[in-house]
Structure 1
Amino acid sequence: MSRQIITQGGKPAFVVIPIEEWRRIEATLEDRADTATVRAFLKSPAETFPDAVVTAILDGTPPLKALREHRGLTQAGLAKACATSAVYISQIERGTRRAGRTLAAKLGKALGVEAGLLQDD
């Protein structure tokens, strides 16, 4: 590998290497970072969701509705699990009402997700 060392004040300060060598180094660093990310996930795997759920949310479906349907719950079933009404769940999904902190925590628990994932911001 050819390289050029640039000094400042008599001490090495910079190294100039061919661009292809830099690209190889950069790819290696990215591969190592990806590997570390995968290892961390495998040590403590979090739940993942099917593409259809993520796509629905990205396409505008309220997260509460997408996750409720993913879990196979009706509005009435989710309402019962959270001690609220199906009308309230419908209103939250349509965006005409917001869930308070207590209800948001119950919804998250019933759906097995963090309450923050249900916000439609």
Structure 2
Amino acid sequence: MGEHLGVNLTDLSAMEHLISNGPLTPSDLASRLEVSTAASTHIVDRLERAGHVSRERDAEDRRKVLVVPAEASVARVIQQLTPMLQSLDAVVAGLSEADRAVVERFLGQVIDAYVAALEHPSGT
């Protein structure tokens, strides 16, 4: 996906957050990416130069600046993901109800394990 957009992995992660969560302030983006605000500024600068985002004033609080994903970039991501999502839908449609229940239970446990690991890294 990063190659398709012409961005590195960090910038792609930023785009994922912006597409999934909508416009974010640069500091919110920094927090989600777990980088400094200075690093976030560089990321946004690169994405802006590439035409993937713009900086816009918040309509409710004009002091705030929001990083907004470009509609064309969002459309490119959706276009890239659509075939994969359609394939996954076909796989799910081919499963019996019992198999779906097993997969759902398994994926729920995987998510729980990831969340636990993120909430308590290295047993802290």
TM-score, normalised to structure 1, is 0.25
Higher Rg of the two aligned structures: 1
- Taking CA–CA contacts closer than 8 Å with sequence separation of 6 or more, which of the two structures ends up with the larger relative contact order? 2
TM-score, normalised to structure 2, is 0.25
Q: Per residue, is there more helix in 1 or in 2?
A: 2
